[in-house]
Amino acid sequence: MSAHVDFPVCLRLAGKRVLLVGAGTIADERSQQLVEAGARVRVVAPVVSPRIQRLAEAGRLELIERVWRPEDTLEQQLVFVATDDPEVSRAVAAEARARGLWLNTADVPELCDFTLPSVGRRGPLVVAVSTSGLAPALARVLRQQFLEQVTPGHVRLARLSGWLRKRLPRGAARMRLLKHLVEGEAGALLVRGERRAAWARVRAALETFGETT
Ligand SMILES: C[C@@]1(CC(=O)O)C2=NC(=C\c3[nH]c(c(CCC(=O)O)c3CC(=O)O)Cc3[nH]c(c(CC(=O)O)c3CCC(=O)O)/C=C3\N/C(=C\2)[C@@H](CCC(=O)O)[C@]3(C)CC(=O)O)/[C@H]1CCC(=O)O
Ligand SMILES: NC(=O)c1ccc[n+]([C@@H]2O[C@H](COP(=O)([O-])OP(=O)(O)OC[C@H]3O[C@@H](n4cnc5c(N)ncnc54)[C@H](O)[C@@H]3O)[C@@H](O)[C@H]2O)c1
């Protein structure tokens, strides 16, 4: 796996049909993350964790309580496998591949079309660490360390940037302003929590923006 050069992406899964094979410890966490991402999740497994059972009862995912069958893969767009049997991973992977679907499996890295990084969130800010499959435990430790660097001020800065991006017309002037906001004094003040002073600079920059567009 270390020989692979991975290509990280952030998937938008809202409304996407996602198959999850297995409903034990690992699948439990996955199911919650997928539901939160807005995916239309189908779980197939004979033994089901209490959380997945609850999500199914609340109508937040579809639960099929039996072993996986090839037809479960029909009309799915993305596949996760988290069972305690690598043979199941191989069978699901073969079916997924035949259908051109992307697959992640928790137990056989060489079958993965994509792997999962360790993820931490502060509002809209996401820290994700991959070790190219070498050291998942290290990914978790580094993710925790990186997340500690992300302050409420960074979240404010990201939200302000998002707000400005919606309101200002695209183009070189907007790019300059947003880079200046994040890299310059206004950003530093906002990160330190000095909101008034930060706003004064943002307002000044906005006045100049009007002149330069
Ligand atoms: C990051 C994280 C994301 C997540 O799962 O959400 C994740 N594993 C996490 C934790 C973790 N996993 C394992 C341990 C015990 C220590 C150890 O064994 O090393 C710990 C540590 C712990 O639990 O603290 C065991 C393990 N993991 C894999 C195998 C199979 C194998 O290697 O053969 C085995 C052996 C199973 C066995 O022996 O039975 C495989 C994969 N695990 C990956 C991701 C992908 C590569 C990610 C990367 O490139 O870094 C990949 C390739 C496939 C995939 O799952 O996508 C999540 C941290 C979540 C968090 O941040 O809290
Ligand atoms: N990727 C990771 O981060 C990571 C971490 C730890 C362990 N693992 C590996 O992940 C795998 C899953 O671990 P777990 O703790 O969730 O296991 P678990 O025993 O808690 O759950 C296994 C699940 O698979 C289901 N299952 C078994 N055969 C099935 C079939 N034919 N069709 C559908 N479902 C089936 C069971 O009903 C159960 O719901 C293990 O192989 C483990 O070694 C991966």
Ranges of each domain in the chain = 17-116, 117-150, 152-212
Is the pLDDT reported for residue 20 higher than 70? Answer: yes
Average pLDDT, the chain: 95
List pLDDT tens digits, range 32-63.
Answer: 999 999 999 999 999 999 999 999 999 999 99
What pLDDT is attached to residue 211?
64
CATH for 117-150 (3.40.50, 3.10.450, 3.30.160, 1.10.10): 3.30.160
pLDDT tens for residues 167-205? 999 999 999 999 989 999 999 999 899 999 999 999 998
What's this model's pTM, rounded to 2 decimal places?
0.94
Please give the sequence-ordered ranges of beta strands (E in DSSP) within the chain, or none if there are none: 17-21, 40-44, 62-64, 78-81, 102-105, 118-122, 125-129
Q: What is the ipTM of this complex?
A: 0.96
Q: Given a cut of 90, is residue 1 above it in pLDDT?
A: no
Q: Which atom of ligand 1 is nearest to the CA of 133?
A: 49
Cα(9) to ligand 2 centroid in Å equals 25
Query: How many C-beta atoms surround the C-beta of residue 166 within 10 A?
Result: 7
Residue among 33, 138, 140 to mutate when testing ligand 1 (max atoms within 8 A of CB): 140
CA of 84 to the centre of ligand 2 (A): 4
CATH superfamily of this structure's domain 17-116 = NAD(P)-binding Rossmann-like Domain (3.40.50.720)
105 lines ligand 1 (CB under 6 A): no
